[in-house]
Structure 1
Amino acid sequence: MAIPLPIIASSLKGHSSFTFPSEKPAPPPLLTQNNNRFQERLKKLELATRRTLPVVLTRVLSERNESTAQQEEEKKKLSQYWREIHGENNWSGYLDPMDPLLRSELIRYGDMVQACYDSFNYDPYSQYCGSCNYSPRTLFESLGLTFLGYEVSRYLYATADIKLPNFFKNPISSKVWSRSANWIGYVCVSNDETSAKLGRRDIAIAWRGTVTRLEWVADLLDYLKPVTSAKIPCPDPTVTVESGFLDVYTNKDKDCRFCKYSAREQVLTEMRSLMLKYPNEELSITVTGHSLGAALAVLSAYDIVESGLNKTEDGRTVPVTVFSFAGPRVGNVRFKNRVEGLGVKVLRVVNVNDDVPKVPGMILNENDPTFLQKLTDKLPWSYSHVGVELALNNKHSPYLKETNDPLDFHNLEAYLHLLDGYQGKDKKFKLSDDRDIALVNKSSDFLNNELVVPPSWWQAAYKGMVKKDGRWVEPERPTMEDHPSEMAHHMKQLGLDSDS
């Protein structure tokens, strides 16, 4: 889920200050300021809010106090245990209690998906509406995500000519970059330095979810059709997936340069190219996505293995893992069995209060008795989740308020916040201090009202807000009790009685 971003910003010691888009002009400064540097930054902020292309969130990082020795130890552990982190043993012993390395990796891949939302052009009056605001070469740099250590190798596009209209953003302008395409994600590869840390060269695919409201759930065609109908080379014709997901993945428009080839063809072509580019290296393929993008992640990961594109020229099998966030069910129980039988590892991160992971198949699904699943597995309405579930609960976070808004429960940044504090089942929620809680309110109003999140960098600067126990608060101000004689003197100069 992603909706236009509100103004939220933080100035953190050791990091840059970032601006966020708003539908309203920036408010005036709280005090008169003669500092030229401040005035220059304020002008830039005011201009940014008036641009046709929205200024998007870059990245707000918490300060990290890890020593160099600790960082080196983390690198050593990750390179040593990456196969377990990526599900070699179906994450046995890694989820309860929550393994810190797994948590860190999940958040890292979640940031890759969030980058799709933060760089997407939502402005219906822009001729580039529905595209990415940045080039592949500058995507991570523009979003402040160079610390990920990946380089984008290809952008992915899907045609809007499908029966899930609310999944796409349509421009109003008559002069547009494309009437048929929407930017839907990207393929990236870890650089040499990051590959050394990871213990292998990682090829990652990130899919975005819906960019409008959750109405796409109601738009689901909600019936299954065989993957073979889309020319996916499955030997079992009874393996079926939800038809709307399959359309997003396989439809194309030959008259459009961006979706002349389907999203499926774009992914498979890039995978062939990258497998040939790194013939003698240890490789992994990681696919991640949120919401409807999580369904595309499962579908594309399965397709890569079914098509044999995770095989190297010398016969080695490259492991394929899916980290999905808030993903709906994708196919029937035969699809589940086929995916898992091919060795695709899927870890589904869900919020128990989020309704999206409960659809489609709210009646006939994997929770039914075994005998009923066998009786109904050929019906076009019987669905089954794939892989291992990691269940989170927004009610366990003391930083989030009580709400009935389904958008809050489905918000990706809220998911990443819950991951940051999740320690295991029935264990106390405790933030790992790697993620700023202000990010939760980037596209929602989910934080507790008493948690003061500065609406912009200049308010934080003028009010002198500081981060204390994970919250943005104003510093304590002197009171009459603190400095009675000094305060009384000032009040006398103003002609005020000390009791007024």
Structure 2
Amino acid sequence: MAILLSNFLFPFPKQFSSPLPYSTSNSWFQTSRLFKTRNAEQSSQCQVISRTRHSYASIEEHEQQQQINMEESLPESKIADSWREIHGSNDWTGLLDPMNDLLRSELIRYGEMSQSCYDAFDYDPFSKYCGSCRFSRGKFFERLGMENVGYEVTRYLYATSNINMPNFFKKSRWPKVWSKSANWIGYVAVSNDEKSKELGRRDIVVAWRGTVTRLEWITDLMDFLKPIAAAKIGCPNLGVKVESGFVDLYTEKEEEGCGYCRFSAREQVMAEVKRLTERFGGAEEEMSITITGHSLGSALAVLSAFDLAETGLNRLGNGRVVPVCVFSFSGPRVGNFSFKERLHELGVKVLRVINIHDIVPKSPGFLLNESIPRAVMQYAEGLPWSYSHVGVELKLDHKVSPFLKQTNDPVCAHNLEALLHLLDGYHEKDGRFVLASGRDPALVNKGCDFLKDHYLVPPNWRQDENKGMIRNKDGRWIQPDRLKFEDHPHDIHHHLTQLGLHFYS
């Protein structure tokens, strides 16, 4: 998770409260399992003392030695042995219903990397650094309480302000700001040696920031498809089209603007992935490229995955092909049916996790989409507002969680922390909701009001101490200065030239 809560709320797994008595036949909490072969005695790590139906249940851990003995008796599933299947080599056949425990844990892990983009972003218009990342690249995961994630952030990504999507970009009210046109939009990271050994390969991650509280950006979409080749993204099929708002955000730049806008988000991510594949591609170890994002960030994840594969960035000099996988959360449709087919031809694997009550995955293309008959879809293919989802879909339903309010609030339905909560409790279609890992339910209310009131978790509780203000030596409250952000590495021109993109910069 992106925020440590060991001294805050619901300090799992030591103790937590539940509004209803616990029973083995109707449990909402369940410890993480690697195989479904565990019997009932092995699967329970909690000793439960129930008072009355209207009292809270007190749940305590077994003795430490009992836990050790139980874990030693269980088979161990290692991601290093099955990472290709987890990343969609078989299109997740047999892994979603029932839900594979290892896949669930990996989805949550990458979902938390996507969530970190929200937790690190400066939303405050009264901050002179509004629109930037609150932390330096070298301490990104450490400042978020994710120091054990096993990845190093190698590059920050910036997008140039787009007049067609004014609700996505955040602006400071200060007269002098770090950038007038740019917003921080994500990062590129790579697994360290220890994590790579655990994963069975060197993993390059691209995480794109979306928007979690304001959904007005959906109405900003022009709902108009344009050929991806028009954005100078090479594609042999001129019929491949994408939503114009997404591709504009991905490719726009201001050559005469500030240093953060001189290169498009596309050029930044392409150059960094090129650098990392050159650095690690010559070794004997396996590699993977995993791209993740939530909401609008999901659209950028799908688009950049298409771009990387179409450009051949995942094809190494020794002939090896690096698998490209997208873990999408609450993402909209990105392109037309030809885009979907071309993405499949390129071998890009996409697993989309959605809440069925979320309006974003139903947009754009509310009328003409993949749900209509194939014959009608082929006829509508030439229309500029005919869209199709890509990849494999995992549908979740927030109304099955006993922790969440029965609300129709679209912001709650679109919340990423809530979606990760649903992932943790999902085991099979129409099955009981049972939390698999003890992931803290309090995280759901980090940026919304979704948990039932009797859990006594305040809504929108996540904020900086004193909203980032500190007291100086004179006793006055001020906003501290931050270190100057790195805009673009000095070797970006070199890598873009190798990719043939220098003609467009």
Contact kept, 8 Å, 2:212 with 2:416, in 1: the verdict is no
Name the aligned partner's letter for residue 231 of structure 1: K
Is contact 1:397-1:429 (8 Å) kept? Answer: yes
Q: Given the superposition, is the C-alpha separation of residues 181 and 70 from structure 1 closer, same or farther in structure 2, using an over 3 Å criterion?
A: farther
Partner of 1:420: 424
Task: Tell me, yes or no, if the aligned pair for 1:167 and 1:211 is still in contact at 8 Å.
Answer: no
In the alignment, the residues of structure 1 paired with residue 326 and residue 61 of structure 2 have an alpha-carbon distance, to the nearest angstrom, of 29
In the TM superposition, what whole-angstrom CA distance separates every residue of 1:331-386 from its partner, at most 9, and x where no partner exists? 00000000011100000000000010000001000001011011011110000000
**What residue number does 2:135 align with?**
134
Q: CA deviation at 1:112?
A: 0.4
Structure 1's 181 and 72: CA in aligned 2 closer, same or farther, altered over 3 A? farther
Q: What does the per-residue CA deviation read over 1:256-315, in whole Å, with 9 as the maximum and x for residues that have no partner?
A: 201210000000000110001102121000000000000000000010000000011101
Show the counterpart of 1:239.
240
Name the counterpart of 1:268: 270
Alpha-carbon shift at residue 72 of structure 1 (Å): 12
1:128-168, Cα deviation, whole Å (9 max, x unpaired)? 00000001110100000122111100000001133111111
Specify the alignment match of 1:400 in structure 2: 404
Query: C-alpha distance in 1, partners of 2:99/2:175?
Result: 51
**SS of residue paired to 2:248:** helix
SS at match of 1:289: strand
> Is 1:182 matched up with 2:217?
no
2:288 to 262, 284, 304: 284
Q: Residues 282 and 94 from structure 1, CA distance in 2 versus in 1: closer, same or farther, beyond 3 angstroms?
A: same
Which residue pairs with 1:384 in the alignment?
A: 388
- One-letter identity of the residue aligned with 1:88: S
Q: Alignment partner of 2:376: what SS?
A: helix
Give the Cα separation in 2 of the matches to 1:241 and 1:72: 51
Q: Cα–Cα, structure 1 residues 151 and 68, in superposed 2: closer, same or farther, change >3 Å? A: farther
Change over 3 Å in CA distance of 1:262–1:414 after alignment to 2? same
- Contact 2:213–2:447 (CA<8 Å) still a contact in 1? no
Q: Deviations over 1:87-127 (max 9, x none)?
A: 00000000000000000000000000110100100110111
- Root mean square deviation of aligned Cα: 2.3
Distance 2:435 2:288 in 1: 29
Q: Secondary structure at the match of 1:123?
A: coil
Q: Which residue of 1 aligns with 2:206?
A: 205
Q: Aligned partners of 1:423 and 1:272: how far apart in 2?
A: 38
Q: 2:355 aligns with which of 351, 355, 360?
A: 351
Task: Quote the residue 1:317 is aligned against.
Answer: 321
Q: Which amino acid aligns with 1:166?
A: N
Aligned residues of 1:12 and 1:63 also touching (Cα < 8 A): no
**Structure 1 residue 73: deviation in Å?**
7.9
- Give SS of 2:291's match: strand
Q: Secondary structure at the match of 1:166?
A: coil
Question: What secondary structure, in the 3-state scheme, does the structure 1 residue paired with 2:275 have?
Answer: helix
Q: Secondary structure at the match of 1:241?
A: strand
Distance in 2 (alpha carbons) for counterparts of 1:439 and 1:272: 35
Structure possessing the higher radius of gyration over alpha carbons = 1
Q: Distance in 1 between matches of 2:412 and 2:69?
A: 37
Summarize the alignment of residues 62-81 of structure 1 with structure 2, pairs less than 5 Å apart. 67=68, 70=71, 77-81=78-82
Contact 1:80–1:199 at 8 Å: present in 2 too?
yes
What corresponds to 1:373 in structure 2? 377
Question: Where does residue 259 of structure 1 map in the other structure?
Answer: 261
Question: How many Å separate the matches in 2 of 1:169 and 1:250?
Answer: 19
Matched, 1:82 2:83: yes
Q: What TM-score do the two structures reach when normalised by structure 1?
A: 0.77
CA deviations 1:312-333 (Å, max 9, x no partner) are 1101000000000000000000
User: Partners in 2 of 1:159 and 1:89 — Cα distance?
Assistant: 37
In the alignment, does 2:92 pair up with 1:104?
no
Q: Alignment partner of 1:147: what SS? A: coil
Query: 2:148 is aligned with what amino acid?
Result: F
Letter paired with 2:239: T
Counterpart residue type for residue 270 of structure 1: E
Unpaired stretches in structure 2, ≥5 consecutive residues: 1-6, 15-59, 463-505
Residue 12 to residue 398, structure 1, CA distance change in 2 (3 Å):
closer
Q: Residues 257 and 76 (structure 1 numbering): CA distance in 2 closer, same or farther, change over 3 Å?
A: same
How far apart are 1:253 and its partner, in Å? 1.2
Scaled by the length of structure 2, the TM-score of the pair is 0.77
For 2:168 and 2:396, locate their aligned partners in 1 and report how far apart those are by CA, in whole Å: 25
Find the counterpart in structure 1 of residue 18 from structure 2.
none
Letter in 1 for 2:444: V
Q: Could you tell me which residue of structure 2 aligns to residue 307 of structure 1? A: 311
- Given that 1:149 and 1:193 are in contact with CA atoms closer than 8 Å, whether structure 2 keeps it comes out as yes
Mapped pair 1:121 → 2:114: no
Deviations 1:471-498 (A, max 9, x none): xxxxxxxxxxxxxxxxxxxxxxxxxxxx
Question: For residues 207 and 265 of structure 1, what CA distance do their matches in structure 2 show?
Answer: 14
Query: Tell me, which stretches of 5 or more residues in structure 1 are unaligned?
Result: 1-7, 16-61, 458-500
Using the TM superposition, give the Cα deviation of residue 209 of structure 1 relative to its aligned residue in structure 2, in angstroms.
0.5
Post-superposition offset of 1:434: 3.5
Q: CA offsets, 1:393-450, max 9 Å, x none? A: 0001010011121000000000000000000101111001341000000011101111
Rounded Cα–Cα distance in structure 2 between residues aligned with 1:289 and 1:376: 29
Corresponding residue of 2:455: 451
Amino acid at match of 1:253: E
SS of the residue 1:348 aligns to: strand
**What letter matches 1:133 in structure 2?**
R
**Percent identical residues:** 59
User: Partner letter of residue 308 of structure 1?
Assistant: G
> d(CA) in 1 for partners of 2:136 and 2:9?
26
Give the deviation of 1:12 after TM superposition.
3.2
Question: Quick one: structure 1 residues 69 and 271, their matched pair in 2 at CA, closer, same or farther if it must change by over 3 Å?
Answer: farther
Shift of 1:193: 1.0
**Could you say which residue in structure 1 is the equivalent of 2:11?**
12
Question: Residues 175-206 of structure 1: CA distance to partner in whole angstroms, max 9, x if unpaired?
Answer: 10000000000000111111111110100000
For the structure 1 residues 196 and 74, does the alpha-carbon distance in structure 2 shift closer, same or farther, using more than 3 Å as the test? farther
SS in 2 for 1:148: coil
Cα deviation, 1:74-97, whole Å, max 9, x if unaligned, reads 875211000000000000000000
Count of aligned residue pairs for this structure pair: 404
Equivalent residue of 1:179, what SS?
Answer: coil
Inter-CA distance 147–222: structure 2 relative to 1 (3 Å threshold): same
The alpha-carbon distance between structure 1 residues 67 and 243, as it changes in their structure 2 partners (threshold 3 A), is farther
Encode CA deviations 1:13-71: one digit per residue, 9 max, x unaligned. 899xxxxxxxxxxxxxxxxxxxxxxxxxxxxxxxxxxxxxxxxxxxxxx9998759959
The answer as to whether partners of 1:120 and 1:131 remain within 8 angstroms in 2 is yes
2: CA distance, partners of 1:13 / 1:356: 32
Q: How does 1:154-233 map to 2 (within 5 A)?
A: 154-210=155-211, 213-233=214-234
